[in-house]
Chain A
């Protein structure tokens, strides 16, 4: 009480009974500080007093991040023509394919062009061509020869075209 009076005299005031309970409160706080030590580890001051709010904030933020909303506007009429165009384009691509599928087939080749090609290209130097000629017989099988011809006609043809004959012999 003496201390209380002294502080009051110096112009300061303390709540009634402040010094009477001070010892207990100091000891209580010391015990509290001791409680935040565990297995030799300790934590920064006030860590646990702020932890609850930080965790709840973190959990809330995580919850909010997962929500994906599409923005809608009343003035979005311009979107519909674009959507219609996109739908037409997708439909066109689905039916016709994105790129033209026209392919040049063996039947499209002119006889003379084919002959010139065989003469010009050195097949035996080109491994890929040799492979096609000797391994992939499906080319020959798939080729439809519309014109009927006799063995003699074929022989005459081969005799006339010495270059082609030589290529086949080789």
Chain B
């Protein structure tokens, strides 16, 4: 299926008569990208599914006010990032554990997760990522897996481009070191 330009999707959504069609297009075009972004943060499939529903509800409510200061995808990634972080904070509070302990807990569960590959290298990488501070892990995920530009990552995380570059550099070094040692 050919990709519909973002501007066309927004125009369809802004017109009441074509709003449903526009939103359907938006969902079909971005659901997978957003799902994987959320999944990499919350790890568990069922949690990712719940968060994704909320993300699209937020997008649906806010898209009419989208001013086009950034790319539509970047704007949606930012919503997905915020929703995922809110979810993780709540989950940490429910389990009464810190952010770091939560990452360890999620990584431990990965080994038994039927929706995770049995690939040892991927598992080792996930364990390495779990050791990183939240910010470094997110920057690494966006760059390494999603191949996003530093500029877009900076917009999503509300950081300067320079800060994103140095954060990615530090994160990559730590991951490399962790995998060598372990």
Contact = CB atoms under 8 A, between A and B. Distances in A.
Partners in one complex: yes
Interface residues of A, number: 19
B40 A55 contact: no
A62 B117 contact: no
A52 B27 contact: yes
B66 interface: no
Contact of A40 (B27, B56, B60, B119): B119
Interface stretch (B29-37, B83-91, B154-162, B169-177): B29-37
Interface in A31-50: 37-44, 47-48
Contact of A58 (B28, B35, B56, B119): B56
A40 B28 contact: no
A58 B53 contact: yes
A59 B56 contact: yes
B99 to A, nearest CB: 20
A55 B53 contact: yes
A55 B52 contact: yes
Contact of B40 (A37, A39, A43): A39
Contacts of B45: 41, 43-44
A48 B145 CA distance: 19
Interface of B: 20, 23-24, 27-28, 31-32, 35-36, 39-40, 43, 45, 49, 52-53, 56-57, 60, 115-117, 119, 122-123, 125-126, 141, 145
B35 A42 contact: no
Contacts of B24: 52, 56
Interface in A52-76: 52, 54-56, 58-59, 62-63
A110 B95 CA distance: 69
A168 interface: no
B123 A40 contact: yes
A59 B115 contact: no
B31 A48 contact: yes
Contact of B60 (A42, A44, A48, A59): A59
A41 B39 contact: yes
B53 A56 contact: no
A39 B146 CA distance: 9
A34 B145 CA distance: 15
Nearest to A37: B117
Contacts of B32: 48
B145 A39 contact: yes
Contacts of A37: 117
A41 B117 CA distance: 6
Contacts of A58: 53, 56-57
A28 to B, nearest CB: 15
A58 B39 CA distance: 19
A38 B32 CA distance: 10
B122 A40 contact: yes
B36 to A, nearest CB: 5
A135 interface: no
Given A55-B31, A59-B23, A38 B57 contact: no
A51 interface: yes
A38 B49 CA distance: 15
A41 B119 contact: no
B28 A42 contact: no
29 contacts: A38-B39, A38-B40, A38-B145, A39-B36, A39-B39, A39-B40, A39-B145, A40-B116, A40-B117, A40-B119, A40-B122, A41-B45, A41-B116, A42-B115, A42-B117, A44-B45, A48-B32, A51-B35, A52-B24, A52-B27, A52-B28, A52-B31, A55-B27, A55-B31, A56-B20, A56-B23, A58-B57, A59-B23, A59-B57
